[in-house]
Structure 1
C-alpha cells in the first residue's frame, strides 16, 4: 500500500509541473506555429522538364523520327476514341484513358531525349560502292610498214605458193592490217585461188573493213569478185 501511495504522489507532481511550465521559444530561424500535417500517401515528384512543358518554354529545336511520332499520335487518338465510347461502361473507359496518358508521357520523354538540332551530327552514310570500271578496250594498230616490207621479202624468197602462205600465216597471227596493206600482199600469188585464200586468211585481222570494196579491183573475173564479196560480207 505504501508503494502505491508513492507512485500516485509522483504522477501528481509530474502533471502539476507540466501544467506550470512555459513552452520554449523556437530557434530564431523558425517561426511560431505548428508544422503542417504530412500526408502518409506517396507524393508524385515533379520533374523540371514537366514544368517547362506546362509553361510552354521548351522552344529548343530537336530531331525526332517523324514516323514514330505519327504512330504514337495515331495510337493516342485510337485510345481516346475507345475511352470515349466506353466512358459509360464501368472502368473500361478509365483504363483506356490511363493508357492514353502513358502514351503521351512516352512521347514527351521521346521529345525530351531527342538531340538538339544545333548539335545533331549524324554519322554520314557510306557512299554506295560504284561498280568497277571495265578495263579499257585494247587499241589495235596495223602492222608497221617496215615489218610488212620484211614479211614481203621473206615471201619473195619462197618459190611455191604454199610456202608463201605459211609465211603469211605466221605474220597474220601476230599482226593487224589495213586493206591497203592486204593489197600489197596479193601480188605475191599468181593464181586467183591463192589470192582468195590470202584474203580469207587476213580478213579477220583487217581493221578498216569499211574499205573492203577496194579488194574487187585485185581480181579480174566476176566469179572471183563474187567470192571476195562473200568473204568480206561474212
Structure 2
C-alpha cells in the first residue's frame, strides 16, 4: 500500500469510534428511551461482585450511548448495594463513564478540532483558557453541566486536555451530586431519615457552589 493511501485510510479509521458511538446513540434512543430502575435491577444478578461488574458495565454503555441518565445508575446502585458500597461502585462507574468518551475524543476528534481552529480562529480562545489552567477549566465545564457529560468528555479529549487533570477534576466536580443522589436512592423510603436530609443538604450546597462558580468565571462561561 502506498504511503499516501495508507495515511488516508488511517485518517478515515480515526472516525470509527465516533461513528460507532453515533450508532449506539440512535439504537438506545429508539429502544431504551424509557429505561427504568426496575429494568436495570432485572439485569443485575444476586451475587454482589457480579452485580458490581454489571453496574460498571452500564456506566460504560452509558458513556457511548449518551441517552442513559447518570441519576438512573446512581439510584440503581443504591438499591442493589448498601449505601457505602453503592458510592464505591458509582465512583468507579464515573471514572469509566468519563474515561471512554475522553479517549474517543482524543483519538477521533483532534483532527476535527484542528481544522475548526484553523478555519475559525475564535475557537482558539477556548483552547487558550484551557491551557492557562486545565484543572479549573475541566472542573468548571463539568460542574456547570451545560454540556452533556459524555459530550464534554469527548470535547475535552479532542482538545488534548491532560488526562490526569481531566479525570481528577471531572470526578471531583461530579462526586458531590453523585453522593447526594446515591443517598437519596438509599433512603427513598425514609424521607425523614438522616441520610435523606444529608443528601438534600449536599444538593443545596452543590447548587449554591455552582452558582458562585458560574458568576466568578464569566470568561470561561462565555
**TM-score computed with the length of structure 1 as normaliser:** 0.29
The higher relative CO (CA closer than 8 Å, separation ≥ 6) is in: 2
